[in-house]
Amino acid sequence: MEKFDVVIVGGGVSGLIASCRASEMGASVLVLEKMQRAGCKLLITGKGRCNITNTASQSEYFNYIRPKSKFLKYAFSNFFSKDIIALLQKNGVETVEERGGRVFPKSNKASDVLEAILNQAKANNVEIRYDSKVEKLVYDNNQSVQGVEYSQNGQFKKVLSGSVIICTGGMSYPATGSDGDGYTLAESAGHTIEPVRPALVPLETKGEIAKRLQGLSLKNVKAVVWMDGKKQREEFGEMLFTHFGLSGPIILTISRYVVDDIRNKHRVNISIDLKPALDENKLDNRLLRDLEEHSNKKIENIAKLWFPKKIIPVFFDETDINPDKEGHQVTSKERRRIKMFMKELTFQVKGYRSFKEAVITAGGIPTSEIDSKTMCSKLVNNMYFAGEVIDLDGDTGGFNLQIAYSTGWLAGQSCAKALGYKD
Ligand SMILES: Cc1cc2nc3c(=O)[nH]c(=O)nc-3n(C[C@H](O)[C@H](O)[C@H](O)COP(=O)(O)OP(=O)(O)OC[C@H]3O[C@@H](n4cnc5c(N)ncnc54)[C@H](O)[C@@H]3O)c2cc1C
């Protein structure tokens, strides 16, 4: 029977990094990947540019990751952002840091990042088998994992190993191969699964406004989340209107909470502050000034000073102001309605998009069932976890890939150590 020291289920980022580490320490490693190539998801990260990691400090990372970010303390201290940057550099990928500590390849090509990691794995003699879908875990008489069964071109095969690392990802963008198999494998071994749901996902809203504004992207706006009438949180930055509702970076970030609020049957509104730099007073002064300066112009023309063109028809419908009125004819009541539109353009959230459009999956294998010092299952011997399959998810900004590298590196290292290999 064929045997490897380590079998890795899934050739995504976490699996490949785990393979690099275990093989570097001397272990023989087989990666089984069900797609025809490795790292399909990595190729589409950062809109094809790959936001590799973030240069924030470890303690800052904990603010961007849920639900139990401190679980990652050891994994981060073992392999962090500087380490992945160094690994990529060693394999020919130069990186650049952008706004908010986001790190990208200088070439702006996610494919360069994948190639570098694959080159590292190949240099260490990692074997990768494609079209190889792991179907089952294999146990010895003591109920310890000792290999897997997988299907390849319609044939069932078995391979034995000292340990198995589950790196199957979550459920998001299932066309990239991550469609939830890891949960089934873990459940079969007795693990529980924290309910999985889409995170970093666009939101669907009631009414026609978003649809009328579809395609419009706004920078420097503030989105405020209201749950059952109470202000919950806010995000400042860029957003996008779509035919079904709201998307773009700040909406994806708040979606992590909104999805749970909706699932818990709360009423959720999101109000957009189009002029976050101006408080009520300053905004009022600005409006008074504009209306006075252009007192003989139609408000239809004055509005062009305030909004992108696409918003203007919506503005008139929502404020019920006659566009033919001139600046000097605008009443104080109408000015209040203008301010309201600018500061609180409100949408009722009716739902969220599916896993097909979710950047990340929330939920998965509970961290309480995994040893944070090794990534080994606390329930079954010789079985490890890494990456998005674990119940951890981060904001946009490079945090999710860093979770995958750090947990992958630690899982690979722990397997090799457990088998007697030394650094
Ligand atoms: C559109 C998009 C953009 C993103 N951009 C960024 C970004 O710029 N920066 C960032 O930090 N994060 C980003 N992310 C998130 C990031 O890509 C993931 O967090 C990361 O890829 C998770 O790595 P993973 O190895 O856990 O899972 P994956 O990368 O999903 O890999 C899992 C692998 O396991 C394989 N597999 C599954 N089941 C089996 C099975 N039964 N047998 C064999 N193989 C199996 C799959 O085919 C897949 O190749 C983005 C995600 C998406 C969807």
- C-alpha triplet 312, 318, 319: angle, nearest 5°: 90
Residue 41 CB–ligand 1 contact under 6 Å? yes
Residue 80: the pLDDT is 98
> 279-285: long-range contacts at Cβ-Cβ below 8 A with a sequence spacing of 24 or more?
280/339, 280/343, 283/339, 283/342, 283/343, 284/335, 284/339
Q: pLDDT tens across 85-113, in order?
A: 999 999 999 999 999 999 999 999 999 99
Among 353, 338, 270, 19, CA closest to 164: 19
Please list the residue range(s) of the chain that carry CATH number 3.50.50.60: 3-197+361-418
Name the pLDDT band for 1 (thresholds 50, 70, 90). confident
Is the confidence at residue 77, as pLDDT, over 90?
yes
What is the atom index within ligand 1 of the atom nearest the CA of 388?
A: 26
Mutate to test the pocket of ligand 1, among 14, 52, 168, 187 (most ligand atoms within 8 A of CB): 168
Q: pLDDT tens across 383-409, in order?
A: 999 999 999 999 999 999 999 999 999
Residue 10 CB–ligand 1 contact under 6 Å? yes
Tokens found for residue 420: 């007697």
Residue 14 CB–ligand 1 contact under 6 Å? yes
Residue 43 CB–ligand 1 contact under 6 Å? no
CA of 289 from ligand 1 middle (Å) equals 52
Residue 142: the pLDDT is 85
The amino acid present at 7, given as its one-letter code, is V
Q: Whose CA is nearest to atom 22 of ligand 1?
A: 388
What is the atom index within ligand 1 of the atom nearest the CA of 54?
A: 11
Residue 65 CB–ligand 1 contact under 6 Å? no
Task: State how far the Cα of 7 lies from the Cα of 66, in Å rounded to an integer.
Answer: 28
E strands, 1-94, are 3-9, 29-32, 53-54, 65-66
CA of 142 from ligand 1 middle (Å) equals 32
Q: pLDDT tens across 171-182, in order?
A: 999 999 999 999
| Length of the chain counted residue by residue | 423
Mutate to test the pocket of ligand 1, among 7, 21, 41 (most ligand atoms within 8 A of CB): 41
Query: From the centroid of its chain, how far is CA 163?
Result: 28
Q: How far is CA 330 from CA 69, 282, 294, 312, 327, in A?
A: 52, 18, 11, 16, 6
**Which class for 289: exposed (0-12), middle (13-18), buried (19 or more C-beta within 10 A)?**
exposed
Look up tokens 């252009």; give the residue.
294
Residue 406 CB–ligand 1 contact under 6 Å? no
Task: State how far the Cα of 267 lies from the Cα of 258, in Å rounded to an integer.
Answer: 10
Is the confidence at residue 272, as pLDDT, over 90?
yes
Name the pLDDT band for 17 (thresholds 50, 70, 90). very high
Q: Are 348 and 268 in contact (CB under 8 A)?
A: yes
CA of 177 from ligand 1 middle (Å) equals 8
Task: State how far the Cα of 164 lies from the Cα of 101, in Å rounded to an integer.
Answer: 34
Residue 383 CB–ligand 1 contact under 6 Å? no
Residue 34 CB–ligand 1 contact under 6 Å? yes
- Enter the pTM of the model: 0.95
Task: State how far the Cα of 246 lies from the Cα of 350, in Å rounded to an integer.
Answer: 11
Residue 105 CB–ligand 1 contact under 6 Å? no
Residue 288 CB–ligand 1 contact under 6 Å? no
Residues 299, 301, 307, 311: what is their CA dihedral angle, to the nearest 10 degrees? 80
Residue 397 CB–ligand 1 contact under 6 Å? no
Average pLDDT, the chain: 97
CA of 12 from ligand 1 middle (Å) equals 6
Residues 6 or more apart whose Cβ sits within 8 Å of residue 220: 236, 237, 238, 276, 277
Name the pLDDT band for 423 (thresholds 50, 70, 90). confident
Residue 188: the pLDDT is 96
Q: Quick check: bond before 105 cis, omega within 30?
A: no
What is the atom index within ligand 1 of the atom nearest the CA of 398?
A: 11
Q: Are 73 and 127 in contact (CB under 8 A)?
A: no
Residue 44 CB–ligand 1 contact under 6 Å? yes
Q: pLDDT tens across 123-148, in order?
A: 999 999 999 999 999 999 888 999 99
- C-alpha triplet 66, 170, 191: angle, nearest 5°: 80
Q: Which residues pair with 4 in a beta bridge?
A: 161
Task: State how far the Cα of 132 lies from the Cα of 157, in Å rounded to an integer.
Answer: 9
The CATH code belonging to domain 3-197+361-418 is: 3.50.50.60
Q: Are 385 and 375 in contact (CB under 8 A)?
A: yes
